Structure 1
């Protein structure tokens, strides 16, 4: 049984991992003790998208996986909210959890939020991991993602397009693909539309801020990810004083699910990296 299937089999209830909900309406799953590791998923997903990482790091860290606004059981942000509002939401969540310092890993849209937090919250972010995150899309990619965002209010949640972009046809990805299909089917359409619009317009919001991020910063993506490309990861790492890039060969967008052992090793390397002198 692979890591994802094994983690899924250990979920205590059919609907997913147990959650608590803050007074502000953010749902989260917390397990383990030690240095905090906060995990933020991408658009259309839910905190269970981090199942392999929750299983891997809960023995050494206080792992807190969070449902992004409008996803899972978290309250939505108002329609039209931009990326800055999602970063503000995350800051409020850190306040509610009384987290003065945390390691933060984000995937896709969650990476944009994590990067914004690293650029904004100073010492509260001890380390940042930017998994399959975008950076300064070219004109063609920008036009495509904006068109997808504009179509959501009319066509609803697209469950097949993301699967084609995010996964190959290999058997190794089959379990992750079906999990992802199920999560896309559970997402609130309005919450999805709001988050996707912020994602579509957010690739440059904090792009100029990486030179000021002086904590250990991991930029990780799959070699075959057509949207969150290796070139993007390399450019961000080059701009960040303590940044480095890791490319997982032969994988696409949902690399933390399709190559969990490799990703967990790279995250462990990141978590072991000493913090910058302040």
Structure 2
């Protein structure tokens, strides 16, 4: 685990981010209520292979709030503007939870700037029961935003009773959620809850490699969701993680990181090969 997160830069658009490592560009986007620190178990290892950019999502961490962000495409456009000014393109883009929705939307809409996409613990076509449950949580937050309902997701993200490293992992997630901007958190959570994943036709026509992964015990970003999206993408692959829940990047980094590195290297090699053939 990293002992310290590098100092953040601030983009002209108002996004806070870190940059470390060398090589082709890999962009990391965290989930609702968290901050770029959520990638703390990826940063050091991935930076050995890529120029790593981890960003605080709009309204999270040290990034400004963006009131215009009312759907996934809006969040994506803010990230795309930042990539255009501060990140070396093309990029491999990766996201976790809501961050994966943004990553997929970027890959679909900004194809020329992207070599591949990694969607971790993503959502696709929630069941009616899941939709009712998540809408109920939105209404509770609208009624009253309390510490209890802000940190409630942690109980779904980890196995209880907590054991080993999960004691610290859960404590960190609770801390990040508690310190999140209430405006930025609720704005993003409402967008996350209303989004049901990419359009089928967007996945079936995606001309880029796409890697999907989730924990087999994640009750909301289920194995079936990742498997379905991977099967729809012409170059989709899927990896399911045993005994993992929603925070798989934290809890199962030793399994996940090598897969991200391998996939990323293949994406950039394919891009270089394709560019050479066209030349």
TM-score by length of 2: 0.91
Matched, 1:136 2:125: yes
Which of 186, 189, 211 aligns to 2:182? It is: 189
Deviation at 1:205, TM superposition (A): 4.7
Q: 1:73 aligns with which of 26, 45, 62?
A: 62
- How much has 1:201 moved relative to structure 2? 1.1
Bigger mean CA deviation after superposition, 200-209 or 39-48: 200-209
SS at match of 2:41: helix
Q: Do the aligned residues in 1 keep the contact of 2:124 with 2:198 (CA within 8 Å)? A: no
After TM superposition, the structure 1 stretch with the greater mean CA deviation from structure 2, 211-220 or 253-262, is 211-220
Name 2:86's counterpart in structure 1.
97
Structure 2 match to 1:44? 33
1:231 is matched with 224
User: 162, 171, 193: which one pairs with 2:163?
Assistant: 171
RMSD value, Cα? 1.6
Contact kept? 1:102, 1:126, Cα under 8 Å: yes
Q: Is the 8 A contact 2:210 2:235 kept in 1?
A: yes
- Supply the distance in 1 between the matched residues of 2:170 and 2:189 (Cα, whole angstroms): 20
**Residue deviations 1:113-144, cap 9 Å, x none?**
00000110012111100000100111111121
CA distance in 2, matches of 1:196, 1:260: 25
The answer to whether structure 1 residue 106 and structure 2 residue 95 are counterparts is yes
Write the distance in 2 (CA, Å) between the matches of 1:155 and 1:79. 23
Q: Which moved more, 1:172-181 or 1:63-72?
A: 172-181
In the alignment of these two chains, the number of paired residues is 267
Residue 25 in structure 1 maps to residue 14 in structure 2: yes
- Match of residue 192 from structure 2: 199
**Equivalent residues of 1:44, 1:183 under 8 A apart:** yes
- Tell me which moved more, 36-45 or 176-185: 176-185
Post-superposition offset of 1:79: 6.5
Give the corresponding residue for 1:162.
153
Give per-residue Cα distances to partners, 1:41-74, cap 9 Å, x unaligned.
0000000000111111112210000000000011
Q: Is the 8 A contact 1:27 1:73 kept in 2?
A: yes
1:80: Cα distance to partner?
6.5
Shift of residue 153, structure 1, vs aligned partner: 2.9
Q: 1:220-249: CA deviations, max 9, x gaps?
A: 000000000000000000000111110110
Maintained 8 Å contact 1:216/1:273: no
Q: Gaps spanning 5+ residues in structure 2: where?
A: none
Contact 1:54 1:63 in 2 (8 A): yes
| Distance in 2 of aligned mates of 1:146 and 1:116 | 23
TM-score scaled by structure 1? 0.91
Q: Is the 8 A contact 1:33 1:60 kept in 2?
A: yes
Residue 66 to residue 206, structure 1, CA distance change in 2 (3 Å): farther
Kept in 1, the 8 Å contact 2:212–2:239? The answer is yes
